[in-house]
Amino acid sequence: MREVFVIGSGMIPFGRFPQLMLEDFAGKAVSEALSDSGVDRKQIGMAVFSTSNGGRVAGQRVLRELSLTGMPIVNVENACAGGGTSLHVGWMAVASGLHDVVLVVGMEKMEKGLIPPNPGEYESFLGKTLPAKYALRASKHMQRYGLTKEQLAMVSVKNHRAGALNPNAHYQEEVTLEQVLLSRPVAEPLTLLQCCPTTDGAAALIIASAEVARRVGQKPVRIAASVLKSGIYRNPAKGQSASDDDLAERAGLAAYEMAGMQPSDVNVAEVHDAFTIGEILAYENLGFCPRGEGGRLVEEGVTSLGGRLPVNPSGGRLSLGHPLGATGVAQVVELSRQLQARSGARQVGGAKTALAHVQGGSTPGIGTGAATVHILTV
């Protein structure tokens, strides 16, 4: 396997674009990534796109606008983990030696309100909406480990504070603990400001072999690990960990092993905070703290900007926004720029190693459909 590097990144400011199609805005992220990388557009050997709502041949429709077709274009769907999955597919293509330069794009236009369930997702018929799924995980954590409502809300306060420093964030305003706790309940204990907004957006990366990376302008960021896993059946009634936690844990362990690293090597991370509890559980599943101590980690400021391990410096899904297929790519845009010391007011000083985690696709019996973990180093 060859080493793979991120050599260019681009994204558009996330927001709501009711009048626009993917074809109207995703190309801007591609153009920015291309010029950031300094590679000639003719060098792109393959493109991988991720979208859940984008319809058929979405990547071709976007690249046609840029007169950039002819090479293999793969369209990936893996729910909230789609962006991470498209990076994994691109990574495989470069690592295997098949292509030297690959374009990876995540993009999405979201419907307002709750994400409608898949027809086969029977638990949602019973009333388990997506926020309810996370609320159930929160209530279990509160019972078992004493996680408090305030600690949950602090995740939202922290991420909005970071998002306020990110010109690409959908919501660039700080919120107070009181505002979070008193916003309307969606699925208890989760309130509205603990649930990601519905956001449109696009993000793009150019990834390449070491040989290409040596010749271009930007400081290359090495992809030290790229891992994709799917959920498996677990039975908590028999004392096994829940499928959702098991999935993130397996993906994290495999990534640390591939990178030859430990959780303590990570300087900055982007994790899946579609709901506040998601971030708390990610701390624990990815080994940032022991099981049950995620609430304390956020309360003590460890994961705030300026803390020992800043998490979601982009503002996370809660403030940057969560256009499903775009999210995993946007995380790596943020983290590669952090490692290149290009993040302005939200720069994590001296960051050398970063971790990106997304997971999603609620699937009864196996918890979550897909998760990816990427580790980046400079």
Partner 1 sequence: MTTKTEKVEASTKIRPRIGRWEVDDHNEVALLGTRCAACGEVAFPEHQICVNCGSESTEVVRIKGPATLRNYTIVHQLPPGYERPWVVGYGEFDGQLSVLAPIVAASRDELHEGLSLSLCVGVTKVDDDGEEMYSYQFTPTKA
Pairing, β 46-50 against β 185-187: unpaired
The piece of 43-51, 68-76, 178-186, 199-207 that touches partner 1 (CB under 8 A) is: 178-186
196 flagged as catalytic: no
Element containing residue 363 per DSSP (H, E):
strand 353-363
Nearest residue (CB) to partner 1, 194 versus 314: 194
Of 18, 70, 119, 350, the one binding partner 1 by CB under 8 A: 119
How many chain residues are in contact with partner 1, going by CB under 8 A? 34
Burial classification of residue 335, based on how many CB atoms lie within 10 Å of its CB (0-12 exposed, 13-18 middle, 19 or more buried)? buried
Distance of CA 43 to the CA centre of its chain: 27
Pairing, β 353-363 against β 367-377: antiparallel
From the candidates 99, 322, 357, 374, give the one annotated as an active-site residue: 322
Q: How far is the CB of 302 from partner 1 (least distance, A)?
A: 27
Q: Does 131 bind partner 1 (CB under 8 A)?
A: yes
Of 24, 65, 121, 265, the one binding partner 1 by CB under 8 A: 121
Pairing, β 221-230 against β 367-377: antiparallel
Q: Does 349 bind partner 1 (CB under 8 A)?
A: no
Q: How far is the CB of 354 from partner 1 (least distance, A)?
A: 33
Q: How far is the CB of 130 from partner 1 (least distance, A)?
A: 10
Q: How far apart are CA 300 and CA 323, in angstroms?
A: 30
Phi, psi of 203 (to 5 degrees): -145, 150
Q: How far is the CB of 127 from partner 1 (least distance, A)?
A: 5
Query: Within 10 A of 53 (CB to CB), how many other CB atoms are there?
Result: 17
Q: Does 181 bind partner 1 (CB under 8 A)?
A: no
80 flagged as catalytic: yes
Contacts for 235 with CB less than 8 Å, ≥ 6 apart: none
Positions marked catalytic: 80, 322
Q: Which residues bind partner 1 (CB under 8 A)?
A: 113-114, 116, 119-129, 131-132, 135-136, 138-140, 143, 184-189, 233, 235-238, 365
